[in-house]
Every structure is written in C-alpha cells, then in structure tokens.
Structure 1
Amino acid sequence: MASMDLKFVILFLFPIVIGSLGNFFHFWHSTCLYFSGCRSRFIDFILRHLSVANLLVILSRGIPETMAALGMEEFLNNVGCKLVFYVQMLGKGVSFSNTCLLSVFQAITISPRSSRWAELKVKALKCIGPCPIICWVLHMLLNIRVPMLVSDKRNNKNITNTIDYQYCTAMSPDKDKNSIFVALTLSHDILCLKLMIWSSGSMAFILYRHKQRTQHIHRHISSRSSPETRASQSILMLVCTFVSLYALTSIMNVWFSFYSKPAWWLVKTSALIHVCFPTISPFILMTREQLVCRLMWKK
C-alpha cells in the first residue's frame, strides 16, 4: 500500500469512528430526553433528523473511500454503486435542509416579544413537526436522477467525462448542467443559504442587543448564559461552519469542471471535505450544552 493511500485511510477512519460516535451520542441524548420525561426543546426534533442524515453521509462516503484506499477496488456492483451514491446525496441534502431549519426556527424562537416576528413563534412551533419529514421526501425526489449518473467501473464503457472514485464512477458535475434536477437543486441550495444568512444575522443582532441590555446585571449575578443563548451561539457556529465548507465544496466542483478525468488525490480531498461537516457538527452543538440526562443520575 502506498504511503499516500495509508494517510487517506487514517483520515477517513477519523470521521467514520469519531463522527459516527458523535452523531449517535447526540441522537441518543435527544431521544433519552424525550422518552425519559425530561424537558426537551422543540429543535431537538430537528437535531435527531440532522444526526441521522449526518450518519448516512459519513457511512455511505467514508466506508467505501476507506475500502478503496486499502486497495479493495470494484467491491460494489452496479446496484451497490447507485444505492451508495443515492444515500450519500440524500443524507447530504437533508443535512443541508435541517441545518437551515435549525437556524430559522432558533432565530424566530429568540426574537423579542415586541418584534413583528413574535407572532410567528406559535405558527413555527406547529410547523416544526412536518418540516423535517418534508425535507426527506423532497430530497428523495430531487436525487432520483443520481442512480442514472452512477455505475460500477466494470459497466462503464465510456471513461471520459467521468469521475473515478476507484470503487464506482460518476458523471462529472458540469456534464449534467442542463438537467432540470440540477436547476431544482441549485434553487434549493440558494434559498437555504439565503435563509441561513438572514437567520444567522438576526440571531447575532438579537444576542448583541440582549448582551448590551443585560450588561449591568451581569456585574451583580452570575454571567452564565441562558440555555436559549447557548443554543443560539452553537447554531451560529454550526451555520458559519456549514457555509464555509459549502463554499469550499463549490470551489472544488469548479475545479472538477476543468478536468475531463480529475486526479485521484483531488477526488479524495473532495470526499474528505464532504464528510467534514457531518463529523464536526454534533461536537459544535455539544460544546455549549449539558449533554447528560439528569434521570441517568437518579436512583
């Protein structure tokens, strides 16, 4: 095994192990609060869906890439390749949408009662249930074309204008730009990015105003922030991380367009970037939260 391949094996094992454990623990904690009777926040429902989507991305991308780096190429048949890429894109899209939902719902939740957004709080809480489910259905439909663009290496007769993942091949992103599915996906991404930027800006402004108003109080009492403030700060960090990685991914896609057959190290680097957000997002959310269910320490 080449030394570079061994490095990629180690790099992909990190998100598989650490990222999977982080998302599983975050999902388990949220579920524990729900079934144990502890008071849970409304956004915990979105967080559970986000954890599942992150796990799908990590496992469907990380495991095949690790096996390919170990030298086990062509271990997937045509159906396996289509399924793996479909699950990967489905998880990626749902993770994107739920990150946007988290940001928007939290911005509405912490808005002052005197603001014009206050009346949206009740309506928003009623919508929080079906929204993650709608995201799954939406991305199942948006990614229905993905299996048509993917095949195993044995069945791929035309090796030009494709990306070689060692275990499967896929059409280069710029070759399918006339598809209506690409237009719909881009529209979804742009809308979600705009909503995240707007909601993040709103949260930052609200938190700044709140800090200014309560500055004199903190001189006399504990400066520990409220759960709502900590949740908002963690979601702000989450959105900033996502937008940064999304921009980096977009740059990589543009880079891909300059090659009819991208180099293997470029493909591996792109894969690592794709699993970065699902790996670190649970730890960002856990940094400012107490993630131990109180009932576990009782009786």
Structure 2
Amino acid sequence: METSDIVISVIFLSQTIFGILGNSFLVYHFLMLYFVGSRLKFTDWILQHLIAANFLTLLCKGVPHTVSAFGMKDFFSDSEYKLIFYLHRIGRGVSISSTCFLSVFQAITISPKASRWTQLKVKSPSYIASCVYMSWVLSFIVNIPFAMYMTARWYNKNITCLRVYEFCASDQHDISPAIFSAVFISIPDVLLMLLMFWSSSYMVCILYRHKQRMKHIHRSNFSFRFSPEIRATKTILLLLSTFVFFYTISCLLQINLALTLNPNSLWVNMASVVSACFPTVSPFLMISH
C-alpha cells in the first residue's frame, strides 16, 4: 500500500469514528432527556432527523471508502453496493432538507410579534413536521435511479463503458443523460439552498436590528441577546454556514466527477472526504453550543 493510500485510509477512518462518536453522544443526550421526562424543543426534534441523516451518510460513505482505501475494493457484493449508495443519497437529501427546515423554523420563531409571521408561528411546527416526513419519502423515491445505475466495479467486467468511481461505477457512459439527470436531481437541492439563504439572511437582519437597538440602552436588567431564542439562532446560523461551505465544495467536486469519464482516485477521495465533513463536524458544533 502506498503512502497516499495510507493517508486517505486514516482520514476516512478518523472521519467515520469521530463522526459516529459525536452523533452517538447527541443520541445519548436526547435519550436521557426523554427518560427524565424533559420536554424537547421543536428544533431538537428536527436535529434528531439531522442526526439520523448524519449516521446514514457516515456509515454508507465512510465505511465503504475506508474499506476501499485499505485495498479491499471488492469487499461488498453488487446488491450491497447499490443499497449502500442508495442509503447514502437518502441521508444526504434528508440532511439538506433538515438543515433547511431548521433555519426556516428558527427564522419564524424569532420574527417580531408584529410581523406577518405571527399566525404562522403557531402553525409552523405542524407544517415543518409534515415537510420533514415528506422529505424522507421524497428522498426514498427520487434516489431510486441512483441505485439502478450504480454497480460494483468488479461486477461488470466490461469497464470500458462504465464511469468508474474507485469501488463502484455507473453504466451511464453517455455524458448527456448523466448531465440531464444531475440537473434534474439538483433542482430540489437548489430550492432548499435558496430557502436556507432567505431564512439565514432574515435572521441576520433581525440580529443586526436588535444590536442597533441595544446600543441605545445603557442599563437594563434584561438583554435579549442572552435569550434562548437568540442563542439558538446564532448556533443554527453557525451550523448553516458550515453546511453551506462543505456542501458547495462537495457540489463542485461532484460536478467535476460527473463530467469526467474515468476520474482518478484523488478526485474521488476528495469528494468523499468533503461530503463526510459536515456529518462529522456538525455534532461537535451542536455539543459546544
């Protein structure tokens, strides 16, 4: 095994271990709150779905790539590769939607009482809960073609017609259908990202206006800056900015892979490492805040 393979193996293994440990700690935290009878906030409920998506992404992305990086490229059967890739896509989709709904719900929560969102504040938990469940269903349906087109690299001996990705391959050798499929699948992600941008911009504006108002208050026994809503908003904005950063880089790398017939292992590994960064880092951001 070459030195580069050893480095990649250590990176994948470290990401998987630390990511699973961080998300497992959050699961333990929520279980303890449940057993002691504490009432969870609605943002905690959305975070639970995000944690489930993180587990899917880490287990279905980190484990196969770690095994592949250690030289065992034909470790899983063709059906197992299809299932792993399918579950990874589901986890990725739910991660995007959960992060989006988290930011939207918090934007509605901290909106001024005199705003147009007053009536929506009461109904937003039921609306967003339905959207979160629907995102799971849509992810299961939309990502079915990925499971159909992906195959284990060793399963099809005629790899000249395949787009090879380290331990798996796609039988869409024509680039036109691949581009059309990538654009079609990306439409929901783009809409969710725009919704994230709107909600985060709205929250930043609210925080800025509040900061401007606080400049005129010299002495006060209560400061809205230290309220639970504002602390939660800052945490969600940090989580959201981290997600957008890693997701943007991941998309650029995925586009590069989609346009390359036989991408080299460096680009494939880079895309896999970046896609697993948010599920690895996000639990520690939530723990620290």
Give the structure-2-normalised TM-score. 0.91
Structure 2 CA distance for aligned equivalents of residues 35 and 216 of structure 1 = 45
Residue in 1 aligned with 2:237?
A: 236
The more displaced of 11-20 and 48-57 is 11-20
Residue in 2 aligned with 1:199?
A: 199
Structure 1 CA distance for aligned equivalents of residues 10 and 218 of structure 2 = 46
* 1:282 maps to 2:269: no
Residue in 2 aligned with 1:61?
A: 61
Residue in 2 aligned with 1:178?
A: 180
RMSD: 2.1
Residue in 2 aligned with 1:208?
A: 208
Residue in 1 aligned with 2:109?
A: 109
SS of equivalent residue, structure 1 residue 169: strand
Report the CA distance between 1:184 and its aligned residue.
4.4
Is the 1:99–1:239 Cα contact (8 Å) retained in structure 2? yes
* 1:169 maps to 2:174: no
Residue in 1 aligned with 2:86?
A: 86
Report the CA distance between 1:35 and its aligned residue.
3.7
Residue in 1 aligned with 2:261?
A: 260
SS of equivalent residue, structure 1 residue 164: strand
SS of equivalent residue, structure 2 residue 10: helix
Residue in 2 aligned with 1:3?
A: 3
Residue in 1 aligned with 2:14?
A: 14
Letter of the aligned partner of 1:267 in structure 2? Answer: V
Structure 2 CA distance for aligned equivalents of residues 282 and 233 of structure 1 = 15
SS of equivalent residue, structure 1 residue 129: helix
Is the 1:164–1:264 Cα contact (8 Å) retained in structure 2? no
Residue in 2 aligned with 1:294?
A: none
Is the 2:9–2:69 Cα contact (8 Å) retained in structure 1? yes
Report the CA distance between 1:269 and its aligned residue.
0.7
Higher helix share: 2
Q: Which runs of no fewer than 5 residues in structure 1 stay unpaired?
A: 289-299
Residue in 2 aligned with 1:52?
A: 52
Is the 1:85–1:147 Cα contact (8 Å) retained in structure 2? yes
- Residue 80 to residue 218, structure 1, CA distance change in 2 (3 Å): farther
- Residue 184 to residue 261, structure 1, CA distance change in 2 (3 Å): closer
Residue in 2 aligned with 1:292?
A: none
Alignment deviations for residues 105-131 of structure 1 (CA, whole Å, 9 cap, x no partner): 110011110111121111102223332
Report the CA distance between 1:185 and its aligned residue.
2.3
Report the CA distance between 1:256 and its aligned residue.
2.1
- Residue 212 to residue 78, structure 1, CA distance change in 2 (3 Å): same
Structure 1 CA distance for aligned equivalents of residues 30 and 76 of structure 2 = 35
Structure 2 CA distance for aligned equivalents of residues 45 and 157 of structure 1 = 46
Q: What does 1:17-56 align with in structure 2 at a 5 Å threshold? A: 17-56=17-56
Structure 1 CA distance for aligned equivalents of residues 189 and 117 of structure 2 = 24
Structure 1 CA distance for aligned equivalents of residues 3 and 165 of structure 2 = 18
Give the structure-1-normalised TM-score. 0.88
Structure 1 CA distance for aligned equivalents of residues 3 and 61 of structure 2 = 21
The more displaced of 99-108 and 128-137 is 128-137
Is the 1:9–1:69 Cα contact (8 Å) retained in structure 2? yes
Letter of the aligned partner of 2:38 in structure 1? Answer: C
Alignment deviations for residues 12-46 of structure 1 (CA, whole Å, 9 cap, x no partner): 11221111111121233233323422232111111
Is the 1:6–1:70 Cα contact (8 Å) retained in structure 2? yes
